[in-house]
Amino acid sequence: MRYKEYRTPLEALAALDQPGRYLRPGLSLNALKRVAAAMSDTEAASRMQAAKDKLFAQWRKTA
């Protein structure tokens, strides 16, 4: 299956009607955008992959 459109989760959330209603109390869409702007998508993906690798390594040790 090929996607016709690619979006980050933040872009998909922002595209919704009234996206703020899906956020936790006290969290705003602007706050999320500031966090997202702090690093590139590639950097965020690299950090996520490193965290997953670390987690799976811990699981392998206990298994």
Alpha-carbon gap, residue 62 to 36, rounded angstroms = 34
Q: How far is CA 36 from the centre of its chain?
A: 8
Q: Are 19 and 3 in contact (CB under 8 A)?
A: no
For residue range 14-63, list pLDDT tens digits in order.
999 999 999 999 999 999 999 999 999 899 899 999 999 999 999 888 86
In the chain, what are the domain boundaries?
9-62
Distance CA 8, CA 2 (A): 16
The model scores a pTM over 0.85: no
The pLDDT of residue 60: 86
Question: With bands split at pLDDT 50, 70 and 90, how would you rate the model's confidence at 5?
Answer: confident
